[in-house]
């Protein structure tokens, strides 16, 4: 029997407000703490957790950026001639996304979302590698680089298979004692919250399912590990969207030409602009200052949030909406969804959560990038106790 197993389970979108008043994990992870998230979507939060660094350091921020010289999507521009009744359908976009991902050999998460094919040649996609693998960051190492370098055998979720399949694969490896570290990523709650909102009875029902899964995982680990050091955490929370904003309808009448005067990506909670002349900047800025549902985020504030990029790669001007407002239609979708994240980190539903079966949590663990330090510390404790030797992730 091995002395130590560090087990880190990430439940996407299980924010602090989601857990408020819920009994989740009280029998197996009674110590809980609120964590500040980072500014951005899961494309930012997950890399921050895995690397221990902030967006301005690892440069895994928003997915689409204006970069026509490096755009891999030029061959898709002909699709602009197809009827929007075809190209606007989600099933068509999903099929095309899978095809393009294979053709471009993208290893991370990828979705074409609702980027218009008329302008798709203007944009690049920033997550070409998988942050869930060694050398998967845009800049710098992650926890899997550390585990590989330290020759610690580990489990990591395969995002191309189901939650259940990953659960069963983990249980199988625990029963054989072949791993000395586990990183589990369950994304199902995030999708559910987007669809039904954070007040639906389906949410606590999903938490009960996760509880049973975790109990099964812990039961499997007991046969091979004396001390299972369990950490359960999220990357952000989820706010209900009760107000819709058609920001595009306010910008289009300005008479500016996309790709000539400006470029923009309309995310779900923010709009990111690039400007190619002063007149375009002036007109867009003036309009945005009249929109009460949000505000232009000053560079000084972005620097404080560690999400300011001096080269303007992710946008030269950022407009952020209030919590509970959804930009729709956007480049993320044509239709409203019930709940969203990606608001200001200080908004109530942005806060993440951290639970453990350890006696306490360090005082200096206050934000999601700090989870990386816990993973490093626990992995080294496991290595010292277990005498780890293999240098790669365990596969079955």
Q: Are residues 357 and 292 in the same domain?
A: no
Question: Per-residue pLDDT averaged across 355-367, rounded?
Answer: 96
Q: Are residues 88 and 200 in the same domain?
A: no
The last residue of a domain, from among 81, 110, 125: 125
392 is a domain residue? no
Q: Are residues 101 and 246 in the same domain?
A: no
Q: Are residues 30 and 147 in the same domain?
A: yes
The last residue of a domain, from among 109, 125, 141: 125
Query: What is the gyration radius of the CA atoms in the chain, in angstroms?
Result: 22
Q: Are residues 235 and 248 in the same domain?
A: no
Residues 17 and 6: their CA atoms lie apart, in Å, by 26
Sheet (strand 225-233) strand order:
31-35, 352-356, 225-233, 2-11, 181-186, 154-156
Question: Per-residue pLDDT averaged across 327-355, rounded?
Answer: 96
Q: What angle do CA 93, 186, 383 make, to 5 degrees?
A: 130
341 is a domain residue? no
Please state, for a pLDDT cut of 90, what percent of the chain lies above it: 84
Query: Residues 44, 38: contact at Cβ < 8 Å?
Result: yes
Q: Are residues 40 and 144 in the same domain?
A: yes
Q: Any idea what the CATH number is for the domain that residue 251 is in?
A: 3.30.1360.180
- Each residue's pLDDT tens digit, 233-272: 999 999 999 999 999 999 999 999 999 999 999 999 999 9
CB atoms closer than 10 angstroms to residue 242? 12
Query: Residues 17, 237: contact at Cβ < 8 Å?
Result: yes
Q: Are residues 146 and 204 in the same domain?
A: yes
Q: Is residue 393's pLDDT more than 80?
A: no
Q: Are residues 323 and 380 in the same domain?
A: no
Residues 127 and 107: their CA atoms lie apart, in Å, by 8
DSSP bridge pairs for 97: none
Query: Residues 379, 146: contact at Cβ < 8 Å?
Result: yes
Spell out the residues 6+ positions from residue 385 whose beta carbon is closer than 8 angstroms to its own.
2, 3, 4
What is the distance, to the nearest Å, from the Cα of residue 16 to the centroid of all Cα atoms in its chain?
A: 16
- Each residue's pLDDT tens digit, 287-322: 999 999 999 999 999 999 999 999 999 999 999 999
Report the domain count for the chain.
Answer: 3
Residues 379 and 396: their CA atoms lie apart, in Å, by 22
Q: Is residue 395's pLDDT more than 70?
A: no
Helix (H) or strand (E) run with residue 288 in it:
helix 278-288
Token pair belonging to 247: 């920001």
Q: Is residue 153's pLDDT more than 60?
A: yes
Residues 362 and 231: their CA atoms lie apart, in Å, by 13
Residues 242 and 255: their CA atoms lie apart, in Å, by 30
Please state, for a pLDDT cut of 70, what percent of the chain lies above it: 97
What pLDDT does 25 receive?
96
Residues 137 and 58: their CA atoms lie apart, in Å, by 7
Q: Are residues 216 and 355 in the same domain?
A: yes
Q: Any idea what the CATH number is for the domain that residue 221 is in?
A: 3.40.720.10
Token pair belonging to 52: 């221990």
DSSP bridge pairs for 230: 7
Query: Residues 266, 320: contact at Cβ < 8 Å?
Result: no
Query: Residues 146, 372: contact at Cβ < 8 Å?
Result: no
Domain that holds residue 70: 64-125
Average pLDDT taken over every residue of the chain: 94
Phi-psi region of 40 (alpha: psi -120 to 50; beta: other; left: phi over 0): left
What length is written for the chain?
396
Nearest to 351 by CA among 364, 368, 374, 371: 368
């Amino acid at each position: 029997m091995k002395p130590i197993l560090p087990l880190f389970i990430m439940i996407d979108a299980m924010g602090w407000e989601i857990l408020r008043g819920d009994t989740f994990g009280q029998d197996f992870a009674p110590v809980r703490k609120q964590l500040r998230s980072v500014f951005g979507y899961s494309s930012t939060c997950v890399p921050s957790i895995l690397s221990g660094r902030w967006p301005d350091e690892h440069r895994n921020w928003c997915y689409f950026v204006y970069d026509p010289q490096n755009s891999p999507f030029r061959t898709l521009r002909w699709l602009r001639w197809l009827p929007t009744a075809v190209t606007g359908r989600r099933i068509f976009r999903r099929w095309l996304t899978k095809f393009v991902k294979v053709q471009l050999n993208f290893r991370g998460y990828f979705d074409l979302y609702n980027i218009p094919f008329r302008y798709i040649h203007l944009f690049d996609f920033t997550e070409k590698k998988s942050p869930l693998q060694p050398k998967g960051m845009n800049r710098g190492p992650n926890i899997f680089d550390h585990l590989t370098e330290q020759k610690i055998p580990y489990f990591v979720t395969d995002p191309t298979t189901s939650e259940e399949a990953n659960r069963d694969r983990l249980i199988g490896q625990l029963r054989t004692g072949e791993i000395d570290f586990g990183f589990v990523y369950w994304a199902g709650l995030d999708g559910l919250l987007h669809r039904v909102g954070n007040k639906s009875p389906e949410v606590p029902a999903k938490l009960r399912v996760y509880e049973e899964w975790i109990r099964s995982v812990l039961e499997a680990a007991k046969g091979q590990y004396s001390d299972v050091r369990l950490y359960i955490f999220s990357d952000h929370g989820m706010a209900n969207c009760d107000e819709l904003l058609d920001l595009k309808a306010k910008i289009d009448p300005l008479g500016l030409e996309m790709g000539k005067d400006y470029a923009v990506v309309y995310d779900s909670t923010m709009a990111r602009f690039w400007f190619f002349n002063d007149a375009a900047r002036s007109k867009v800025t003036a309009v945005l200052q009249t929109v009460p549902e949000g505000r232009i985020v000053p560079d000084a504030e972005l620097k404080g949030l560690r999400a300011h990029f001096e080269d303007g790669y992710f946008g030269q001007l950022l407009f952020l909406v209030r919590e509970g407002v959804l930009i729709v239609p956007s480049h993320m979708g044509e239709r409203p969804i019930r709940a969203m994240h990606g608001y200001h980190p200080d908004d109530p539903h942005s806060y993440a959560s951290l639970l453990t079966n350890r006696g306490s949590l360090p005082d200096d663990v206050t934000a999601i990038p700090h989870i990386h330090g816990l993973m490093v510390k626990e992995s080294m404790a496991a290595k010292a106790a277990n005498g780890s030797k293999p240098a790669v992730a365990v596969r079955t």
